[in-house]
Structure 1
Amino acid sequence: MTNTHRRPSLTGFFAFVVLWVILATFNFGFGTSELNPLQGALTCPSPAPSSTSTCIEMTNAQFGYVTAGFTVGGFVGSLCLSPLKAVLPILGSSSKAALILSGLWNVAGGLVQAYAGSWPILALGRLLMGIGSGIALTIVPGFLNDISPPALQGSIGVLNQLSIVIGILVAQALGVSSLGDKGSNRWRIVPVISAAIALAQLLLSPFAIECPSDSKEPDSIRKKLWKTEPQESNGHDQAREVEEPLLTPEEPDADTGSNHSGSLHSPPEKHSVFSLLRLALTFGTLNGEEDEIRKGTRMIIFTQMAQQLSGINAVLYYSTGILSDVLKNGGGSKEDDDKTAKLIGLGITVVNFLMTFPPIPLIDERRVGRKRLLQISSGTMAISALALSLSMLNSASVPAAVSIVTFTAGFSAGLGAIPFLILPELVPRSVIPSASSLGIACNWLANITLSLIFLPLKDALGGYVFFIFAAIDAIIFITITGYYRYKPISNIRSRPE
């Protein structure tokens, strides 16, 4: 049996809005990786006489504190969303205004880093940039979800992770270029570029729209972004065109009949960040809705922390140092080893970028789906971490490089994009703002923990350190297999035209 249903047709304005939104997460990716290839150029053992010196005096431990400044700022920024909601609407859309604030923090952070003359000032710049990134990571997934047609929310949502990966790639490429050469202060141009990108987002903001769910007329805003066209299909395909959010089915809105679950600031919240945390830690019998919120919140916390504890940032932050240590026993000069390590680090980032594309069509539940991609991702990372440990213990540079590449590819296949994509799907939209803040805060908390303990662990355990990540990734695989589920439904009311 065939009938007519409507296929979304995206407008050029939709592409502009998506680009404007993901500039914020691009800067997060840029900030994540910008210091990794620049460590040799910006650090020196002797005092730096002025803010325009070629390097800054700091030890490896102090460089770790500078790196951690970004994650501490991200943790703070991710918790700012709920308090800001009370004041942001006076600027227009609360989501749009939050992205503008994110850009302001990033401009300030980039400029402070560029003119830093000591490691505490450099750490302050990283802290400011981290605050902007924390706000952005909380806002962007829900914003993309809200402006996208229901049938394309998965594919559009992956652009959040793609923008992060592109930011990492650009930062790595700049570090490998002449901007990362020792004995030059050209490394200061890199944080200026970050500030310039944030400034571009601020200048484009007057032309961007409000988040539809922050508007009194969301449907009129969405009509500017995408239209629908009649399309012949059989009843089975139509029934599967729109699928239910994960774990928690949404009822259509009473006033519009809409089942759009991507709102970040829609109905009044029933839970604050801390009440959601208490609920997630509660054991015992709860009523139906509260139990579904608890299940969804627990999965948000788990997937967000799993993304960081999987070990990916140990590779992204310190891949150059890891590979330099492995290459030391290869017989080459230290300068050649460092250059080779930088190039391999850039190659790792390219793989991370390329492997972000395959999950885009596969994320649909009619193909591979969220759960299987998460299983493939965590399983690949567990095996790769085990191989990396063995390679480091045996000073095998080629297997170590291959293991890092497969580790990164495994991350990109699932754990990179899906935790952000499913965040607005796991709970009813009335608690998405608080759930987003809680989930992203847990993500940053895990990031902070990892950035502070990885180097001491690596120094103490050597190659054995990645056995820990192999075990963590195996636990992630087992947990996803046992507790994660996606429930497609055969019929829900679509949004009225």
Structure 2
Amino acid sequence: MSGYGTQVNVPPKRPALTRNLLLATAVACLGSIQYGYHIAELNAPEQFLVCPNDSHSSGIINSSPQCITMTDQQFGAVTSIFSIGGLVGSFFIGNYASKYGRRLTSLYVSVLAFLGSLVMFMAGSFNSLLLGRFIVGISCGSAIVITPLFINEIAPSQWKGALGSMNQLSINLGILLTQTLALPLANLQDWRWLLAVGCILALLNALGWWYVGESPQWLVLHEHDTMKASINLAYLRDCSLQTAKQEMEQWVESSNNNNSESHDATQELTFWGYITNPTYQRPRLAITLLLVGQQFSGINSIIFYGVKVVSQVVSQYAILVNFAISILNVIVTFIAGLIIDRSGRKPLLIVSTLVMSLMSLIISISIISGHSIMLIVSLFGFIIAFALGIGPIPFLIIGELSSAESMEQAQSYGTVCNWLATFVIGYTFPILNNVMGGYVYLTFSAMTVLLLVGIRKYVPETKGTLNANEAWQTFN
């Protein structure tokens, strides 16, 4: 009805998710799948991969059972050097992604991932396996920076949370894929083919990037090519060139307003410039809090050592429980993607950390008292809480908290923080677990409470905001 009355404010309709947008997101997420896959690829085949003596070692593929002579310390080095490679990749990739674009950089990263996986597949010695694992680490550290960066730039504002959460979902899918393939392939004859899957994933990723266009935002910001950017955006949105130009003008104007407030906007921002410039102090603090806090919540004590943790109470079902945890992680992360743009980032972060703190306390009590059912239920609750908030949100929120000129370095910085925290937890948990037993989860419970306090105080809500400036302006 019209004429008399009251004007009803109808909220803007959510734009449709087009096939081209979903395809571009899926291609980017293949990098995250590889990250998750390579994290877990050595766990299951360890007993077949490592030779008890020199007599079984060989350097080429043949029909006989194969293994590589290594000590426990050497195998530990092969496992952990992935984190060192990831740290290197995360540190440097921001500059390359800024200079050469998301698409071209990702193509090279996919080639690097293929070479690293091939070296591992063909490895006949500790040194060659170590080298392959390091190369794969560099590629995964690079991909985990570019994936959320690219998705944040191509997603409509109303879908940034849902599409951004696909990064964490893809990591979990990669872990689950490794564990699933390990069931038939983790044996003396076939373990190498588990490593060969990394080559296939890398080839698929490279092929995908060959057909995906460059980020429209990068084209405007770094190449000043508005025509090509408009064409790419129209393709992603499946809309007219005029409609695409209108959307572009909106965020370009917003980007220019942000850049005008930064005295470094005319210069190419470096990693060191980002971590020392007081202009970025507030987003830097929020990013540090979320990306370090995510790991200090204790999540990788379950992802890396879940079988060992469960075995302390219920050893006969440890592998089955760990597999169920991986499936649960994937399902709940997918659900989080459906609700994240409706519920908002901050409420999910608060609920997630609160429940994780409680579950850590119950995990501790369960291990100390030897209560198996309580342990399994609390572990599932811990994973559900993680997957709903502190799991998917930190990586996607970096771009929402960062101005256009700082986005690449902010993503690199956040990922470096995450790698360092992952290394600290991965290295210290077995030591603390041996010394403290179940009481170690009291430490994680306390850490998560501190994270909760920090989120309330230092992290703004970014739901529905057009840019970082808008998010920080509305934050008290």
Question: Fold-level match, TM-score > 0.5?
Answer: yes
Conservation of the 8 A alpha-carbon contact between 2:346 and 2:455: yes
Query: Could you say which residue in structure 1 is the equivalent of 2:75?
Result: 63
| Segment of structure 1 superposing worse, 372-381 or 399-408 | 399-408
Query: Could you say which residue in structure 1 is the equivalent of 2:314?
Result: 327
Query: Could you say which residue in structure 2 is the equivalent of 1:202?
Result: 206
Letter aligned with residue 191 of structure 2: W
Q: Cα deviation per residue 1:203-237 (whole Å; 9 max; x = unaligned)? A: 233211111123213222111011469xxxxxxxx
Matches within 5 A, 1:411-422: 411-422=386-397
Residues of 2 paired with 1:311 and 1:344: CA distance? 18
Residues of 1 paired with 2:22 and 2:252: CA distance? 27
Consecutive unaligned residues in structure 2, runs of 5 or more: 1-6, 220-224, 241-246, 260-264, 468-476
Conservation of the 8 A alpha-carbon contact between 1:269 and 1:430: no
1:389 CA displacement? 2.2
Question: Structure 1's 82 and 347: CA in aligned 2 closer, same or farther, altered over 3 A?
Answer: closer
Query: Could you say which residue in structure 1 is the equivalent of 2:470?
Result: none
- TM, length-normalised to structure 2: 0.83
Query: Could you say which residue in structure 1 is the equivalent of 2:282?
Result: 295
Matches within 5 A, 1:301-316: 301-316=288-303
Matches within 5 A, 1:384-463: 384-463=359-438
The SS at the match of 1:358 is helix
Residues of 2 paired with 1:130 and 1:445: CA distance? 13
Report the number of matched residues.
Answer: 436
Q: Cα deviation per residue 1:261-301 (whole Å; 9 max; x = unaligned)? A: 9xxxxx75564211222236xxxxxxxxx2xx210111112
Query: Could you say which residue in structure 1 is the equivalent of 2:338?
Result: 361
Q: Does 1:134 align with 2:141?
A: yes
* CA RMSD, 1 decimal: 2.9
The SS at the match of 1:415 is coil
Letter aligned with residue 305 of structure 1: V
1:463 CA displacement? 2.3
Residues of 2 paired with 1:349 and 1:109: CA distance? 25
Q: Does 1:221 align with 2:208?
A: no
Letter aligned with residue 448 of structure 1: F
Identify the structure with bigger relative contact order (alpha carbons < 8 Å, sequence gap 6+): 1
Question: Structure 1's 67 and 405: CA in aligned 2 closer, same or farther, altered over 3 A?
Answer: farther
Matches within 5 A, 1:150-189: 150-175=157-182, 177-181=183-187, 184-189=188-193
Residues of 1 paired with 2:258 and 2:157: CA distance? 7
1:384 CA displacement? 1.8
1:76 CA displacement? 0.4
| Segment of structure 1 superposing worse, 202-211 or 350-359 | 202-211
Letter aligned with residue 49 of structure 1: S
Question: Structure 1's 319 and 185: CA in aligned 2 closer, same or farther, altered over 3 A?
Answer: farther
Conservation of the 8 A alpha-carbon contact between 2:397 and 2:462: no
Question: Structure 1's 321 and 444: CA in aligned 2 closer, same or farther, altered over 3 A?
Answer: same
Query: Could you say which residue in structure 2 is the equivalent of 1:122?
Result: 129
1:167 CA displacement? 0.9
Residues of 2 paired with 1:306 and 1:252: CA distance? 31
Residues of 2 paired with 1:110 and 1:489: CA distance? 40
Q: Cα deviation per residue 1:64-95 (whole Å; 9 max; x = unaligned)? A: 32221111111000011244257x53xxxx11
1:439 CA displacement? 1.0
Out of 25, 38, 42, the residue aligned to residue 45 of structure 2 is: 38
Residues of 1 paired with 2:363 and 2:378: CA distance? 5
Residues of 1 paired with 2:304 and 2:18: CA distance? 38
The SS at the match of 1:378 is helix
Question: Structure 1's 489 and 3: CA in aligned 2 closer, same or farther, altered over 3 A?
Answer: same
The SS at the match of 1:9 is coil
Residues of 2 paired with 1:491 and 1:397: CA distance? 48
- TM, length-normalised to structure 1: 0.80
Question: Structure 1's 487 and 353: CA in aligned 2 closer, same or farther, altered over 3 A?
Answer: closer
Query: Could you say which residue in structure 2 is the equivalent of 1:237?
Result: none
Residues of 2 paired with 1:31 and 1:489: CA distance? 34
Q: Cα deviation per residue 1:15-46 (whole Å; 9 max; x = unaligned)? A: 22121111111111111222233333333543
Letter aligned with residue 63 of structure 1: F
1:131 CA displacement? 0.6
Query: Could you say which residue in structure 2 is the equivalent of 1:211?
Result: 215
Question: Structure 1's 72 and 490: CA in aligned 2 closer, same or farther, altered over 3 A?
Answer: closer
Q: Which runs of 4+ in 1 moved over 6 A?
A: 256-261, 487-492
Conservation of the 8 A alpha-carbon contact between 1:179 and 1:190: yes
